[in-house]
Amino acid sequence: MKKMSDKLPQGSIVALISPMHEDGALDREAWLRLLKRHLSAGTCGVVVGGTTGESATLNAAERDWMLEAALDTLSGRCSVIAGTGSASTEAAIAQSTRAADLGADAVLVVTPFYNRPPQRGLERHYRAIADTCAAPVILYNVPSRTAVDLDPGTTIALAGHPNIVAIKEAVADMERVRTLRAAGVMVYSGDDPSAAQAIEQGASGVISVAANVVPEQIAELCRLALAGEFKQARTLNRSLESLYAFLSVEPNPIPVKWMLAEIGCIGPGIRLPLVPLASHFHEAGSMLLRTLNANTSVPESSEVFNET
């Protein structure tokens, strides 16, 4: 995967949540604040409307506005990647083409979920998208959510397409990362706990959920690992293990949205069928936030809402 991959960022890319009011309406002011926060935190890219952004519940107008606002706010200082995957190839083509027309730096296309295509179907799906979309295509493999695994052999075959430039690999398998890198495939980790290890094996960074909460720390983790300072990267990674664990106590993005609401970055909104974090996790979450606030730069509520 050479071609357009040299235009992609290396480091921390946040899988950005979609902020919502309590009634579920998109919180546009909070979206702009989140973008500015990541710009100042050293995040090198944002994913708009991905899984963490509740992509399945966003309508076309919301997707367009969020993408256009991100492109305008970040103004080339931070890469903007649009989540455009679908279980339907036709829908994925339409969403990817639309994102490219609006100016997205790349599109992130998750494997078609639920219908479980075989590998030859996955290959035809991605080739159809890449043949049509003008923006660089990043494959996204997350079998725990989609019930289909994009095999390394299929990924490597797809890498020959001039418009398929990388993969977000959420399988925490370092042998897989090594195999893909040996074949010249640009890899982003899609698994926060093993991201530093994946970068040691040649990955170019992480597309991170945790970066929503601690953007500076994930940016620094990537910087250290990419610079070959693996001992320091491992030490920083260990300090974040409790956060990684908490972010999986219920399905993503339930815990991360609760944490961001607790520190005042966003309101409490989340859309059905997702629901707010179960109350019995709140005490542990509050204790974790106090620890993070003492040891990192997790912002106070007033600090976030006074941003301009």
- Residue 75, pLDDT > 80, answer yes
Residue 267: how many other CB atoms lie within 10 Å: 18
If you ran DSSP here, which 8-state letter would residue 7 be given?
G
Q: What is the pLDDT of residues 217-230, one digit of tens each?
A: 999 999 999 999 99
Residue 180 pLDDT: 98
Q: What is the 3-state secondary structure (H, E, C) of 76-144?
A: CCCEEEEECCCCCHHHHHHHHHHHHHHCCCEEEEECCCCCCCCHHHHHHHHHHHHHHCCCCEEEEECHH
The proportion of the chain whose per-residue pLDDT surpasses 70, expressed as a percent, equals 94
Residue 6's pLDDT band, with cuts at 50, 70 and 90, is low
pTM: 0.94
Query: Which residue among 3, 114, 168, 188 is the active-site one?
Result: 168
The label of the residue with tokens 């979309």 reads: 133
Active-site residue, from 140, 231, 244, 257: 140
pLDDT digits (tens, 9 = 90+) for 7-16: 799 999 999 9
Q: What is the distance between the alpha carbons of residues 4 and 25, in angstroms, rounded to a whole number?
A: 36
Residues in the chain: 308
Among 273, 270, 264, residue whose Cα is nearest residue 305: 264
| pLDDT higher than threshold 50 for residue 279 | yes
Residue 173 forms beta bridges with which residues? none
- Is 168 among the catalytic positions? yes
Annotation marks residue 140 as catalytic: yes
Which DSSP state fits 20? B
Q: Over range 117-134, report the average pLDDT.
A: 98
178 has pLDDT over 70: yes
Q: How confident is the model at residue 5 (pLDDT cuts 50, 70, 90)?
A: low
Name the residue range of residue 110's domain. 3-305
Number of domains composing the chain: 1
Terminal Cα distance for the chain, rounded: 39
DSSP secondary structure of 227-281: TT-HHHHHHHHHHTHHHHHHTTSSSTTHHHHHHHHHTTSS-S---TTS-PPPGGG
Q: Stretch 234-238: mean pLDDT, rounded?
A: 97
CATH number at residue 31: 3.20.20.70
Which pLDDT value is given to residue 305?
35
- CA–centroid distance for 155 within its chain: 19
What confidence category does residue 294 fall into, taking pLDDT thresholds of 50, 70 and 90? Answer: confident
